[in-house]
Structure 1
């Protein structure tokens, strides 16, 4: 792997001007809070997690690595990590509307003493790129923020996190405001708390600790705060397009502090099926698009079964490693009419080791097969459109030096190595690997089962644990 290859990450002149449209007070933490006071609620004391001091594992790091970790951990402010996670949650940032929260990220990185590269990607140009990863939410802007510590050198490491979140859904189902970021019974609640503003706070906290510690680094640490992960990954794609590269990356998604070196892909699709309308009393004169959809859906279930015949070893605990799901169906316009059209949208999983193009080929083949078994479908075949996020599968070597440092730091914290598992969902990990030529793994606080959920939450203790592990790993890997 080539060394750090950041292609002129420009520091914009007058950085504070980007946030001037909100409020003029920009200096210091108090100024930052006033700048975003329309989003942030009154402070609540961060609850410090009590982490037991565990004995060292049998494999003890080198003296240099151990000293670097000690200095970095001494400089780590875990209360600040929790507080930042709360502040980030309190700024609504549903995919496509991330500017305000990115202002907060940029100011926080600036206050921590990092060089800040805040830029706005050319969305139209990126969409025209032949490898553009797709998106479901139309946007006119994409605001990206990177914080840089150290200089180009022997090693480089990216800490990647996204600020966009999914919609809250039924607001009445939440026990409190989705943007409250309140802490109750050791849990931080709010949309994006788990997925993945706490993870981003961990990355920023780790970078701040390394800066405060004064450790000499033999390379560069890059914190990436990106947008648009939820619907395709335009943010990380834009970072790669800008020239950001590194020897390795930690994507701080919620993994329950398990290390994920292999991730399935996911391809969004849309199907349109035609029928023939008729009055319900003579429905036999018509052709129900719903009934024809049932034939197609049955054949797609067979495809799902075929895709799961050979499962990667890290995915064997999942009942279905590479799921095919129909998430939305629209059909019919009147209860007394035979529906003459149906549109459905869904996603199909991409097995690790299989190209997305092969999954698309098999999917199209399944539709053709279904059409050949039914006269109507043969004459009126389903129309297929691949739209929105297109997530390739990806796998990396977990024994690369940066990942070995993370595993060692985890073992130092917990006295056991991290569990290695696969992830059956997509993320920006594949864009770092395929577009930025940067080996990447997933590791972060939180449980994916809380992501996108009503009353989304993350354990405060886990934020602290993740901050300690990531800080120690970065120090171990980068310290001179």
Structure 2
């Protein structure tokens, strides 16, 4: 479904009150951006340690609801019905256990009411920090050094969320009257499947356009590849290590599987399209964990492998799964042992379908103009090799792009960081985008 955007001129915006068009001075709104408040919001979010599936994630959602209320938004804060949501056919899956989950959406009202002209979206969950001893400082204490913020999640993507809140603060503090509502979606569970955005959309929160504040390294991401978590169960025949030729090592089956998956990866990345041509392997297949054997002098009869499988843009998830299964089945037919003991394939965990902005949709130009007017080089449109909540908004008929501070290369890393000016520049771009789409 294609939705129309209500566009204003690049350099200015007009707020409509009834039948009267009121000129909005963008510079006056931008003057209300408060870097200290953005820093304080980011410090709070980092300090809550909102790791997926923990009490910190729950606390961050409650804090966001309170913060949105302080900004004068109409707040919808609800406990997500996890058992019911799990039964939905399009449920995106989760990879951590949760007994409690919350959604928080704030709506800055518009004089004309109706569907929000724009949703600014940010996820508030973060991945675990790993070994804290490897960090220069406590990963859950925001640190500032040389124009840079450090801490778990500052890049992916608490910095972007703080910029969104900063933009909403500037709009409310300026007293500007929007013609159409502006929505702020703060969501949980993005890192392990997209539960929060799925629940938000199912609750009826939508918009004519959406900008997700994911780190994009100065680009606008219009296309996301998808990704699936796969599990392979490879069986062998146990034997004493001194008589290994009388057994069948499950690791031999892993060697065959790796070779086949390498061929499949090359085949699926032969023609990647313009938006993904900057990437060496846009749709990778990688093995993340291998578990085999239970005794040093025993030939292992079981190997369990988990990894990530990239889904091509426009490719249905079911078709990607079929191609994956077929490649391993074909490999098994060429091996005497695997022919009778085929590799078992399953796809547990999150399901990240691909997503994209419709061709020639005006949202891209609006965000590019806003970024440039906010002081950034004009961002190029690019595709990203990872899955994100973009695909959930796109599937719900909401045209969506990603534009946010930081570089995905620094996400999930030790001493994760984001440049302060990048956060502030994106906050300015969000203000301008909101004024142009909600006026």
Report the TM range for the smaller structure's normalisation.
Answer: over 0.9
Determine the structure 2 residue equivalent to 1:187.
148
Q: Does 1:106 align with 2:65?
A: yes
Query: What runs of 5+ residues in structure 1 fail to find an aligned partner?
Result: 5-58
Q: Does 1:259 align with 2:220?
A: yes
Alpha-carbon distance between aligned partners in 2 of 1:229 and 1:87, rounded to the nearest angstrom: 19
Indicate how the Cα distance of structure 1 residues 3 and 413 shifts in structure 2: closer, same or farther if over 3 A, else same: closer
Alpha-carbon distance between aligned partners in 2 of 1:332 and 1:325, rounded to the nearest angstrom: 21
Alpha-carbon distance between aligned partners in 2 of 1:154 and 1:284, rounded to the nearest angstrom: 69
Determine the structure 1 residue equivalent to 2:271.
310
Q: Matches of residues 231-242 of structure 1 in structure 2 within 5 Å?
A: 231-242=192-203
Q: Does 1:374 align with 2:324?
A: no
Deviations along 1:116-160, whole A, 9 cap, x unmatched? 111111001111101100111121121111111014337521111
Deviations along 1:408-450, whole A, 9 cap, x unmatched? 111212374212111000111101111x321111100011011
Match of 1:131 among 90, 101, 109: 90
Deviations along 1:330-352, whole A, 9 cap, x unmatched? 00001100000000101110111
Q: Does 1:209 align with 2:170?
A: yes
Indicate how the Cα distance of structure 1 residues 215 and 399 shifts in structure 2: closer, same or farther if over 3 A, else same: farther
Alpha-carbon distance between aligned partners in 2 of 1:75 and 1:229, rounded to the nearest angstrom: 30
Determine the structure 2 residue equivalent to 1:141.
100
Q: Does 1:393 align with 2:354?
A: yes
Q: Does 1:87 align with 2:47?
A: no
CA contact (8 A) 1:3 1:154 kept: no
Determine the structure 1 residue equivalent to 2:11.
61
CA contact (8 A) 2:12 2:26 kept: no
Alpha-carbon distance between aligned partners in 2 of 1:409 and 1:182, rounded to the nearest angstrom: 29
Provide the secondary structure at the position in 2 that maps to 1:202.
Answer: helix
**TM-score w.r.t. length of structure 2:** 0.93
Determine the structure 1 residue equivalent to 2:53.
96
Q: Does 1:341 align with 2:298?
A: no
Pairwise CA distance, 1:378: 0.5
Determine the structure 2 residue equivalent to 1:34.
none
Deviations along 1:368-400, whole A, 9 cap, x unmatched? 111101010010001111111110111113643
Residue-pair matches, total:
424
Alpha-carbon distance between aligned partners in 2 of 1:339 and 1:91, rounded to the nearest angstrom: 43
Q: Matches of residues 6-45 of structure 1 in structure 2 within 5 Å?
A: none
Alpha-carbon distance between aligned partners in 2 of 1:464 and 1:314, rounded to the nearest angstrom: 27
CA contact (8 A) 1:118 1:143 kept: yes
Provide the secondary structure at the position in 2 that maps to 1:334.
Answer: coil
Indicate how the Cα distance of structure 1 residues 427 and 125 shifts in structure 2: closer, same or farther if over 3 A, else same: same
Alpha-carbon distance between aligned partners in 2 of 1:291 and 1:63, rounded to the nearest angstrom: 65
Indicate how the Cα distance of structure 1 residues 254 and 177 shifts in structure 2: closer, same or farther if over 3 A, else same: same
Pairwise CA distance, 1:286: 0.4
Q: Does 1:408 align with 2:369?
A: yes
Match of 1:331 among 276, 292, 308: 292
Determine the structure 2 residue equivalent to 1:157.
118
Determine the structure 2 residue equivalent to 1:463.
423
Pairwise CA distance, 1:80: 1.2
Match of 1:118 among 77, 85, 91: 77
Determine the structure 2 residue equivalent to 1:477.
437
Pairwise CA distance, 1:257: 2.7
Pairwise CA distance, 1:180: 1.2
Provide the secondary structure at the position in 1 that maps to 2:348.
Answer: strand
CA contact (8 A) 1:91 1:100 kept: yes
Pairwise CA distance, 1:405: 2.2
